[in-house]
Amino acid sequence: MNTQRAADRLAEEAVGLFEEQMGRSPRWVVAAPGRVNLIGEHTDYNDGFVLPMAIERRVVIAADRAAGSALDGRARLISSAEKAPATIAVDGEIRPGEVHWSSYVQGVVAGCREAGLKPGPFEAVIHSDVPLGGGLSSSAALEVAVATLVEALAGRTLDPIAKALLCQKAEHEYARMPCGIMDQFISVLGEPDRAMLLDCRAQRAEMVALDDPSVTVLIVNSNVKHELTGSEYPQRRAACEEAARILGVAALRDATLEGLDAARERLSEEHYRRARHVISEINRTLHAAEALKGRDWQTVGRLMYASHASLRDDYEVSCEELDLLVEIARSIGVAGGVIGCRMTGGGFGGCTVSLVESRKAEAVREALCRQYGEKTGIEAAAFASRPAQGACVLRRA
């Protein structure tokens, strides 16, 4: 389906669900996109650089002020992705509670109130085509959509950076996920035909054109998520902090590969390899942004494969299925239309991102899914996306 039609249909479905549940039309419809990170993985919490783009998959919210006074001080939420509806506080003292899907919404409402935006009681239907937990940042899309809705309800907009940071804080405090700033920044600031080079230390975004019609970004969801102990992310963060401390730098952003090698005997093998990934990945990300500007696709592709190898071998956050998808992509190769491929997102499952020749994109998509299915028995989900628009209001009363 044509992507604009898919977006329109998603919004129409959200409106339909709202009408069905609430017995009237929603006064507001807002949307915020998920994202895919082209390169720069596990660099954000090391003060490094990332290079994401917003994707043509989004969270849509249809909403209206609460009818009557039954919802005094609260909002009622329905999500098409969750069985049970939820109620959250919009007034009085708001505090983090047990983590639930509505915690993301609650946290953003709390942050908006701190920023002086009062939504008042409302009813909302959340409808999304960003896969949940697939590494395409459904969580940030949800947060940013909620912030956009609160702006509409309150009749005042936030500074975009403040808006992204408030959403990140909601995820930290209310969903207890110590994420970086990438997901929320790109969901707020995404632009059509542009990727975003984000300096996570300066919190500064530079848009980089990705508008060559001859190349396409292809996202393949492995549809696996390995439930590990759950401590891998904090462990990786701690290893990076320890490596930075030993190297005598504020963050691995400030280290160089030469400095790392000079300090090799002072680092454990594990710390050495974790740091080598981060430092080299930051270099690759900056290099890739330059290559993107010059439409040097061969270089971008080479950097993507190198990123994957580093995540697999040094950072150890890949898994069999992601490695397999990258190997299949590599075997299709330039002759078959694949320029580069890597795992994307936190790892241990989720998606790969590939850069492919547009005229061969459909054949590549078909081959990747078929070969992956034959080898694993798992059905992958794949789609192409152009860089998409950030959060917006689709309908306003």
Binding site for ligand ADP (CB under 6 A): 59, 79, 81-82, 101, 104, 126, 128, 132-139, 142
Spatial strand order in the sheet of 349-357: 338-344, 349-357, 215-225, 381-385
Phi first, then psi, for residue 390 (nearest 5°) are -70, -170
Q: Three-state SS for 222?
A: strand
Q: Is 183 a catalytic residue?
A: yes
Residue closer to Mg ion by CB (options 46, 137) is 137
Minimum CB distance to Mg ion, residue 137 (Å): 5
Q: Does 139 bind Mg ion (CB under 5 A)?
A: yes
Contact 15, 25 (CB under 8 A): yes
Angle between helices 160-174 and 182-189 (to 10 degrees): 140
Q: Please pick, among 44, 64, 129, 183, the residue that the annotation labels catalytic.
A: 183
Which does residue 184 touch among ligand ADP, Mg ion, none (CB within 5 to 8 A, set by kind)?
none
H or E element at residue 113: helix 101-114
Residue 375 CA to its chain's centroid (Å):
28
- Residue 167 one-letter amino acid: C
Q: Output 139 or 385, the one with its CB closest to Mg ion.
A: 139
Complex with Mg ion: residue 17 or 353, whichever CB lies closer? 353
Ramachandran region, residue 116 (left: φ > 0; alpha: ψ -120 to 50; beta: rest): left
The residue written with tokens 């949940």 in the block is: 132
**How far, rounded to the nearest angstrom, does the alpha carbon of residue 8 sit from its chain's CA centroid?**
22
Structure tokens at 32: 């915020």
Which region among 130-138, 205-213, 326-334, 356-364 touches Mg ion (by CB under 5 A)? 130-138
Q: Minimal distance in Å, beta carbon 43 to ligand ADP?
A: 17
Residue 79 in contact with Mg ion, rule: CB under 5 A: no
Contacts with Mg ion: how many residues (CB under 5 A)?
Answer: 2
- Which residue type sits at 355? L
Shortest distance, CB of residue 104 to ligand ADP, whole angstroms?
6
**135: partner contacted, choices Mg ion, ligand ADP, none (Cβ within 5-8 A by kind):** ligand ADP
In the complex, what is the shortest distance from the CB of residue 213 to ligand ADP, in angstroms, rounded to a whole number? 29
- Kindly state the smallest distance separating residue 384's Cβ from ligand ADP, in Å: 19
Nearer to ligand ADP, 78 or 218 (CB): 78
Residue with smaller CB distance to ligand ADP, 137 or 216: 137
Torsion 65-69-73-76 (CA) sign: negative
Contacts with Mg ion, residue ranges (CB under 5 A): 137, 139
* Residues marked as catalytic: 183
